[in-house]
């Protein structure tokens, strides 16, 4: 099959759940979709002595794929074999939709029994998260856990995680004893892994801290810490990888890559033999963009090579490419920027804000929509019941099942959080907006953890809105939302339209034919943008500014539908690529208009390594 790669830089079992997300105890109301592994029928002990493998495996076998949360209370769970997520059920198609969550990553540990995986030529994982041979393993989460591979386990892998479209490893630690551990977090164990997010994670020890590989589907990291690896901190063998907030303390290279790598806001500290190595190694013709990278103790900041030999990069003494020597790199691209119109070559550097974190209310004060008459099976109309829960005066509204709604649900009043467990509302039906964010008392409102919203979300208020870990057909903004802030974290959908808002997105995945993302007069910042199908991937107009830090187009339908990016008298910047297996990649890569003049850059015009379009300052 034909395969095209381009790089663009564009300017212009019911239980009460008590859980902790690194900010104090957080508990859920009682519901069958929240499962405590220490309670019957599973009865895992978590005492660090009893072998809990069989109990936890049974919990996985009976709950993976059912839109449930498996909760691990504080404790040490001793494991003596790989825990596996089942692929199929006799009476149920398993498409993922599973969350594993610990009470606190510092006190909730899955620990591998010493001397279990002793052959480093036959790596085996403490946990393998499933999949069945395609990119259809959706909405999976592992959060607030430590994976400790113990001692005398040189072949041990902490976690082999897999998810598509939405999914994340959040607030986890991966720990290995001296000489133990092959890989901490393995995202390279099979093809088509992602789009997914890794956030607030730490890897201590192992030969390799994190592994990424293959050409699709993109992996995004934010706030990753790597310490004490024996070979390399993070190794990327072909993936589009976007990283913000990497901290590494190592005697070996912090990062090696030959895919597409974006690094920003990075601190890499070399220890011991680090003076023999580069901090970052780009080899085999990989494409990299580095910004605000600080290093110390290394031979150089970056070895940017075309050789396929990773070790050859160690021998670089001088500055092979301007700006690569370091020790600090303000901004560096492996491929020079060009432009349809004259433009600065540097990135936009839009201001970046972290995703707000919400306080966790006492679950006794939550409004559980089922108690207001909602049907968690999705058969009966639950619109009135859910709205009644919203208007009950509670600040947290909990939707623990699947629901059908014949009317738009308005989020207003005292509500600050609407929370699901990966369930669906109006699956596949796009006839109405599911949630409208209206005026209310809390200045920030969260909508999170829904496997599918058939219609979508409308933002109809100048409030700060956080959409987190959900799939939604559309996100659209009204005139009332202008000047507000929006945070998207681990979100997939079809058609997102923003007007005069400030938007920050992490792990954004848009998959439709037609315009994917519209920024009309606002600021849109994206860390890790994956797209699918044809149509314009980002249209910036009205003097807006759009900055895309990493990602790629998986062009699976006609690339002739529209230009990849459209920039109308506005500013855009993107480090971006394309993978196409059907022989029909984007024909027009850029269409830019300035003061009534429109120009295009077509694939036939030549290879595009970087493009800039920034007509005015803002």
What's the pLDDT at 92? 58
Start-to-end CA distance of the chain, whole Å, equals 44
Domain match, 412 and 494 both: yes
- Say whether both 363 and 474 belong to one domain: yes
Q: What is the structure's pLDDT at 26?
A: 59
Q: Is the domain of 458 the same as that of 523? A: no
| Coil, strand or helix at 306 | coil
Cα separation, 274 vs 509, whole angstroms: 37
Helix/strand/coil for 365: helix
Residue 537 falls within a domain, yes or no? yes
The reported pLDDT for the residue numbered 21 is 36
For residues 155 and 121, is the Cβ–Cβ distance under 8 A?
yes
280 part of a folded domain = no
Domain extent at residue 425: 352-501
Q: Looking at the domain assignment, is residue 329 inside a domain?
A: no
Residue 25 pLDDT: 57
Is 0.85 surpassed by the pTM of this model?
Answer: yes
CA distance 245 to 535: 32
Task: Indicate if 447 and 375 belong to the same structural domain.
Answer: yes
C-alpha–C-alpha distance, residues 57 and 82, integer Å: 9
- Buried b / exposed e over 49-77, threshold 16 CB at 10 Å, is eeebbebbbebbebbbbbbbbbbbbbbbb
3-state secondary structure 420-448: EEEEEECCCCCCCCCEEEEEECCCEEEEE
Give the whole-angstrom CA distance, residue 501 versus residue 521: 8
Rounded Cα distance, 151 and 387, in Å: 53
Considering 478, 501, 524, which residue would you say is the last residue of a domain? Answer: 501
Q: For tokens 């058969």, what's the residue?
A: 379
Provide the pLDDT confidence category of residue 19 given band limits of 50, 70 and 90. very low
29-81 pLDDT, tens digit each: 888 999 999 999 999 999 999 999 999 999 999 999 999 999 999 999 999 99
- Residue 365 burial by Cβ neighbours in a 10 Å radius (0-12, 13-18, 19+): exposed
Question: How would residue 609 be classed by pLDDT, with cut points 50, 70 and 90?
Answer: low
Q: Within a domain: residue 607? A: yes
Q: Is the pLDDT of residue 607 over 70?
A: no
DSSP 236-304: EES-EEEEEEEEEEESS-SEEESSEEEEEEEEEEE-GGGGGSEEEEE-TT-EEEEEEEEEESSSEEEEE
Q: Which residue has the higher pLDDT, 25 or 227?
A: 227
Whether 535 maps to a domain, the answer reads yes
Same domain assignment for residues 520 and 496: no
Number of domains in the chain: 2
Confidence of residue 305 (pLDDT cuts 50, 70, 90): confident
Give the pLDDT band of residue 336 (cuts 50, 70, 90): confident
Mean pLDDT, residues 263-276: 97
Q: What per-residue confidence (pLDDT) applies to 1?
A: 36
**Average pLDDT in the chain:** 91
Residue 15 has pLDDT above 50, yes or no: no
Contact call for residues 578 and 553 (beta carbons, < 8 A): yes
Sign of CA dihedral 360, 366, 370, 374: negative
Q: Are residues 455 and 523 in the same domain?
A: no
Question: How far, in Å, CA of 55 to CA of 70, rounded?
Answer: 12
| Structure confidence at residue 3 (pLDDT) | 36
* 468 within domain boundaries: yes
Burial group, residue 285, by CB count within 10 angstroms (0-12, 13-18, 19+) = exposed
Shared domain for 524 and 448, answered yes or no, is no
User: Are both 496 and 526 inside the same structural domain?
Assistant: no
Domain boundary among 501, 533, 564: 501
Is there a domain that residue 507 lies in? no
Q: Are both 587 and 610 inside the same structural domain?
A: yes
- Considering the domain architecture, whether residues 362 and 481 belong to the same structural domain is answered as yes
CATH number of the domain at 392, please. 2.160.20.10
Per-residue tokens: 313: 């990069």
| pLDDT tops 70 at residue 322 | yes
Based on the fold, state whether residues 472 and 613 are members of the same structural domain: no
As a whole number of angstroms, the distance between CA 337 and CA 1 comes to: 30
Residue 542, phi-psi category: left (phi > 0), alpha (psi -120 to 50), beta (remainder): left
Long-range contacts formed by 346-349: CB under 8 A, 24+ apart:
347/9, 347/11, 347/291, 347/547, 347/573, 348/11, 348/545, 348/547, 348/571, 348/573, 348/614, 349/547
433 located within any domain: yes
| Bigger pLDDT: 267 vs 93 | 267
Coil vs helix vs strand at 77 = strand
């Amino acid at each position: 099959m034909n395969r095209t790669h381009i790089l663009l830089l564009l300017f212009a079992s019911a239980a009460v759940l008590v859980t902790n997300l690194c900010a104090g105890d957080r508990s859920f109301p009682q519901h069958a979709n929240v499962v405590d592994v220490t309670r019957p029928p599973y009865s895992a002990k978590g005492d660090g002595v009893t072998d809990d493998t069989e109990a936890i495996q049974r919990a996985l076998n009976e709950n993976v794929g059912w839109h449930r949360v498996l909760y691990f209370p504080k404790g040490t769970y001793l494991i003596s074999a790989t825990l596996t997520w089942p692929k199929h059920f006799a009476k149920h198609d398993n498409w993922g939709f599973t969350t594993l969550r610990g009470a606190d990553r510092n006190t909730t540990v899955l620990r591998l029994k010493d001397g279990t995986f002793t052959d480093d030529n036959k790596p085996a994982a403490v946990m393998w998260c499933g999949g069945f041979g395609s990119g259809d393993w959706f909405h999976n989460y592992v959060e607030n856990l430590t994976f400790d591979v113990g001692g005398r386990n040189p072949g041990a892998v902490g976690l082999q995680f897999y998810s598509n479209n939405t999914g994340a490893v959040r607030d986890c630690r991966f720990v290995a004893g001296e000489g133990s551990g092959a890989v901490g977090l393995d995202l390279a164990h099979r093809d088509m892994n992602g789009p997914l997010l890794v956030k607030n994670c730490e890897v201590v020890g192992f030969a390799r801290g994190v592994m990424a590989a293959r050409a699709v589907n993109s992996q995004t990291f934010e706030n990753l810490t790597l310490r004490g690896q024996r070979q390399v901190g993070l190794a990327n063998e072909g993936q589009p990888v976007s990283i913000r907030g990497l901290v590494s303390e190592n005697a070996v290279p912090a990062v090696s890559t030959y895919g597409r790598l974006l690094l920003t806001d990075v601190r890499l500290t070399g220890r011991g033999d680090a003076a023999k190595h580069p901090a970052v190694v780009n080899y085999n013709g990989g494409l990299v963009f580095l910004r605000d990278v600080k290093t110390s103790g290394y031979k150089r900041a970056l070895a940017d090579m075309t050789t396929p030999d990773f070790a050859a990069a160690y021998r670089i003494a001088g500055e092979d490419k301007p700006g690569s020597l370091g020790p600090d790199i303000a901004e560096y691209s492996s491929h020079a920027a060009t432009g349809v119109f004259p433009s600065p070559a540097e990135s936009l550097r839009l201001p970046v804000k972290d995703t707000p974190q919400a306080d966790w209310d006492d679950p006794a004060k939550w409004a559980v929509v089922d108690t207001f008459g909602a049907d968690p099976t999705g058969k009966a109309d639950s619109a009135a019941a859910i709205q009644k829960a919203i208007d009950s005066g509670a600040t947290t509204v909990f939707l623990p099942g699947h629901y059908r709604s014949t009317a738009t649900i308005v989020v207003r009043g005292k509500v600050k959080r609407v929370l699901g467990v990966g369930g669906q509302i109006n699956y596949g039906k796009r006839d109405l907006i599911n949630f409208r964010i209206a005026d209310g008392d809390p200045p920030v409102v969260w909508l999170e953890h829904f496997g599918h919203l058939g219609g979508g979300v409308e933002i109809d208020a100048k409030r700060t809105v956080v959409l987190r870990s959900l799939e939604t057909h559309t996100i659209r903004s009204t005139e009332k939302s202008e000047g507000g802030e929006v945070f998207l974290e681990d979100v997939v959908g079809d058609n997102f339209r923003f007007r005069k808002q400030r938007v920050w997105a992490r792990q954004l995945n848009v998959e439709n034919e037609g315009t994917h993302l519209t920024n009309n007069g606002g600021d849109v910042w994206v860390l890790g943008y994956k797209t699918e199908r044809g149509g314009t991937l980002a249209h910036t107009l009205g003097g807006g500014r759009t900055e895309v830090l990493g990602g790629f187009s998986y062009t699976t339908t006609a690339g002739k539908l529209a230009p990849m990016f459209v920039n109308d008298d506005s500013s855009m910047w993107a480090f971006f690529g394309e993978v196409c297996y059907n022989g029909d990649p984007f024909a027009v890569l850029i269409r830019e208009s300035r003061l009534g003049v429109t120009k295009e850059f077509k694939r036939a015009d030549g290879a595009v390594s970087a493009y800039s379009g920034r007509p005015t300052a803002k």
